[in-house]
Chains A and B, each alone.
Chain A
Amino acid sequence: MTRKAEGFSIVLASALGAFGVTLVNFANSGTVDAQTALTFLVFVIAFGGLYVAVLTWAPRSSSLLLAPVAAITAIGFLEVYRLDPVRAGLQRWWLLIGAAVAAGVLYLLHLGSTEILRRYRYIILLISVLLLLLPNLPQDWAFPLKGLEVNGSRLWIVLDTGITSLSLQFQPAEIAKLGLVSFVAAYLADHQHALRQAHRKIGPIRLPEPRQLLPLLITWALSVLILVSQRDLGASVLLFASFVLLLYATTGSAGYLVAGGVLTVLAGFAGYQAFDHVQRRVAGWLDPFANFEDAGYQISQGLFALGSGSLSGAGPGLGRPDLIPNASTDFIFAAVGEELGFAGTVAVLALYGLVVAVGLGIAFRSRTTFHKLLAAGLTFVFGVQTFLIIGGVLRLVPLTGITLPFMSYGGSAFVGNLVLIALLLRISHEEAR
């Protein structure tokens, strides 16, 4: 795709979002209002602005990323708008903020190239761990930055400005995950030879010397521990899976995949034994309809939504995705399935598949190890997260309660994922010489 076609596609995606909003309004009230124009304008400013930033600071980057991301965002936005117009209004602000931050990242990397990520890897690690720790701040102290517990998970921080409407909520893990991937990519790039050559054989499984792995393991144990203490199952599974996949990518020894799989099963089993909320979640996953009254309710409603949507969907604003608890975050995919049908869900899966394929293609063609690992790691985070949440809705895996990139309502997630795309763009720019 040429840059010109990319720009045209972004305008099309913006029109798609605006058209969706129009249909939702028409279905609800029989009228069309300024929301249509406002949505179009915000999409064009956000994605168009980012497009201009890419043209200016990363002109040789892949032209296949921004347009599918804009289309995914547009489809997600129309469902968020349909479910909760107030949240959609906030999400529009996050669109602008996310685009500004991503453009800022592109500018910084233009000044210093991705080499700064490698050079300052320990500072990035420190910041990431601190970010992960932030939600454990007290909820009720005088300092304006406070932790916040939502639905039993402690993932949020609030910047309390004293004015309720202006206090900012943020999920720092969404940014921290990028920092951690960046650090791990840098670390593995430094130690790849040692990791690949210094083996210790335990049966058929070849593992590197503990000395090589120790810092990494400690770091990861720490971050996973923090995430579990904040009861964010989805993010810890995501980070652990991405870590294992990166180790495998570096060393090529399948032992890591096996060990990672065994560790995941063991942790899952221990979690199942230890926590009843995990047991309920598993029961709701294995047989949602038998547990319809409690643990299976959300999944059952999600499946009803998908089935009711059938091939062509009820149409924007004409289904009842509001019957699904947390439809605008965890279950946005089911909402799309209900209102846009099988056609819509296949389109969404194809767009995600495209982003993952382009991301892996960037990794594949990168010449420097760091770029290769960073691009692969970022793509794994994106792809695994997408698989975990959609697979959770479709009962392939237990529901982990993480957001669907670019579709779910959520500001920090949107900003984080757009920065992820900006990093991929920058890598592809630097590698295209």
Chain B
Amino acid sequence: MNGPIRRLAIGMFAAFTALLLAVTWFQVIRADDLKTDPRNARPALSEHGKERGVIVASDGTILAQSVSDPDDALAYNREYPGGAAFAHAIGYSSFLLGNTGLESAYADVLRSRRDLTISDLVGVILGQDLRPSSIEVTLDPELQQAAFDALGGRRGAVVAIDPRSGAVLALVSSPSYDPHPLLGDGADAAWNDLLAAPGSPLSDRASRELYAPGSTFKTVVASAAIDAGVAGLETTFEDPVEFQLPGSTATISNFTGRVCNDGTSVTLLRAFVVSCNTTFADLAIRLGATDLGITADALGFNRDFDFAWTIPQASFPTAALADDAAALGQSGIGERDVRATPLHMAMVAATVANGGQLYSPYLVSRVFDADGNATESTEPVELGRAMAPTTASLMTQLMERVVTEGTGTAASVPGVRVAGKTGTAQGSGEFPHPWFIGFAPVDNPTIAIAVFLEGGPDLGESVTGGAVSAPIASTLLEIWLSGEQ
């Protein structure tokens, strides 16, 4: 009888060895995969209730902070004093929903490293600082709030950039949401409410949604034409009622349905100032997809750049347009497959303002340790020259005339020289999107801006960038410039 028992003992030994191997597999070999699986809530939960660093604006306004829980001496609650106006940029840190915005991009900086583990203890002995670091953002709280108010709950976005560095001064998406209900126990219900809410408040229209730029893209086309020597301000074009697209039965007409000048000829200057579609369709085809594509790429299209989060690529499909003149004509007025975020279009305006030099946009200027010493500060990153300084200066002339006498007069600010370009993009929808991009002051620009509203029944079918978006730009430029003095 001992024979079978011995064999069964060997079997038991084998079974326990299998358990040992299996537990090694899950706790040693596959441990990191399991730990970081997105469905494993533990990493987010371990952050919950711990102190996180402060997110502060350069003027000292606190945009995110951890305050002690009144009911639990060991826990902290996250607060966002900026509320809805800052929700997309700052993001939130929620134990149920994870981190978004800067709370996600800088999670490793903002989080406390105090995990009560043995490695913490070793870290403290070795002199590591386990307290959370803080970040200073480039956003101007007053401008951000004003932009949010100006959008007034309509679907749209405002992006403002300092053209001298790429620092983002305002990054607003509307409608927005109060982040606080997403932090606590009712987070999933609040999240579902927001998903069902009208206007999809969770989408970030400023930097994560692509739209047809419409006539604001004429800034790119004119820059490319002048830079390539294909046209100057006084170069004349035919002035038809409709432009016949080559190799196609389709035509392009002007917004007013009429000619842009006298029906015979129109200069580039006049065509830009009144946003003449026929001229720019013609010009884009004359210029060719390759030259236009080079400038578009240099202005930030078809490329990735480092930002706090992934920005979708703005698209100008150069290769596809090279042998499709009709599509190229439509692309010349920012329609067809041309797409950009408001952030991209603000970068276009900023580049003209900055003499043709493109800067990478950034949101965080400095990182501080818990004692308030700056440990990192962001240096502006040049992404390359998009156009010659002379081209930029001619473009500035064109854009200033848009505001003084063209489609963008509503963007003017008393006592300040403002440059800009309007757009009313048809895109793929039924309702047009009104745009305005611009910068000020002309002689020494300190701000470039893009104002975008998403078309819809609320705005109507006859809305224009000059009538709706330009006044918002005027208000915001005035606030910024008066604050600068």
Binding site for B on A (CB under 8 A): 27, 30, 192, 245, 248-252, 289, 292, 300, 303-304, 306-312, 314-315, 318-320, 323, 337, 341-342, 345-346, 349, 352-353, 356-357, 360, 363-364, 369, 372-373, 376, 380, 383, 387, 390-391, 394-396
- Listed by A's residue number, 14 A-B pairs whose Cβ atoms lie within 8 Å are A248-B4, A252-B4, A300-B39, A303-B26, A306-B31, A307-B26, A307-B31, A318-B116, A337-B26, A342-B23, A349-B19, A353-B16, A360-B5, A387-B19
Q: Is the CB of A364 within 8 A of B2?
A: yes
Q: Which of B18, B30, B41, B115 contacts A307 (CB 8 A)?
A: B30
Q: Is the CB of A352 within 8 A of B35?
A: no
B128 contacts chain A at the CB level, 8 A cutoff? no
Chain B interface, DSSP helix/strand/loop, else mixed: helix
Q: Give the residues in chain A near B34, CB-CB below 8 Å.
A: 303-304, 306-308
Roughly how many angstroms separate A251 CA and B5 CA in the complex, as a whole number? 10
Distance between A183 CB and nearest chain B CB, rounded to angstroms: 18
Q: Is the CB of A319 within 8 A of B42?
A: yes
Roughly how many angstroms separate A306 CA and B41 CA in the complex, as a whole number? 13
Q: Is the CB of A390 within 8 A of B5?
A: no
Q: Is the CB of B35 within 8 A of A307?
A: yes
- Contacting A at CB under 8 A, from B1-59, are 1-6, 8-9, 12-13, 15-16, 18-20, 22-24, 26-28, 30-35, 37, 39-42, 45-46
Name the residue on B nearest A29 (C-beta): B74
Task: Add 13 more A-B contacts to A323-B41, A337-B27, A391-B15 (CB < 8 A).
Answer: A248-B8, A304-B35, A304-B40, A306-B23, A308-B31, A308-B40, A310-B32, A311-B28, A342-B28, A353-B13, A353-B16, A364-B6, A387-B19
Q: Give the residues in chain B near A30, CB-CB below 8 Å.
A: 73-74
Roughly how many angstroms separate A229 CA and B445 CA in the complex, as a whole number? 82
Q: Which of A27, A292, A303, A376 contacts B8 (CB 8 A)?
A: A376
Q: Is the CB of B5 within 8 A of A363?
A: yes
Q: Which of B9, B23, B26, B116 contacts A346 (CB 8 A)?
A: B23
- Contacting A at CB under 8 A, from B315-331, are none
Binding site for A on B (CB under 8 A): 1-6, 8-9, 12-13, 15-16, 18-20, 22-24, 26-28, 30-35, 37, 39-42, 45-46, 73-74, 115-118
Name the residue on A nearest B11 (C-beta): A245
Q: Give the residues in chain B near A353, CB-CB below 8 Å.
A: 13, 16
Roughly how many angstroms separate A43 CA and B217 CA in the complex, as a whole number? 79
Roughly how many angstroms separate A356 CA and B27 CA in the complex, as a whole number? 24
Q: Which of B16, B27, B73, B117 contacts A306 (CB 8 A)?
A: B27
Q: Is the CB of B117 within 8 A of A314?
A: yes
Roughly how many angstroms separate A289 CA and B18 CA in the complex, as a whole number? 22
Q: Is the CB of B27 within 8 A of A252?
A: no
Name the residue on B nearest A248 (C-beta): B4
Roughly how many angstroms separate A143 CA and B28 CA in the complex, as a whole number? 53
Q: Give the residues in chain A near B116, CB-CB below 8 Å.
A: 27, 315, 318
Q: Give the residues in chain A near B22, CB-CB below 8 Å.
A: 391, 394-396
Q: Give the residues in chain B near A376, CB-CB below 8 Å.
A: 5, 8
Q: Which of B4, B23, B41 contacts A345 (CB 8 A)?
A: B23
Roughly how many angstroms separate A356 CA and B14 CA in the complex, as a whole number? 12
Roughly how many angstroms separate A186 CA and B311 CA in the complex, as a whole number? 76
Q: Is the CB of A391 within 8 A of B18?
A: yes
Q: Which of A249, A311, A356 contacts B5 (CB 8 A)?
A: A249
Distance between B308 CB and nearest chain A CB, rounded to angstroms: 28
Q: Is the CB of A383 within 8 A of B18?
A: no
Q: Give the residues in chain B near A27, CB-CB below 8 Å.
A: 116
Name the residue on B nearest A369 (C-beta): B1
Q: Is the CB of A356 within 8 A of B18?
A: no
Name the residue on B nearest A372 (C-beta): B1
Q: Give the residues in chain B near A252, CB-CB below 8 Å.
A: 1, 3-4
Q: Give the residues in chain A near B28, CB-CB below 8 Å.
A: 310-311, 342
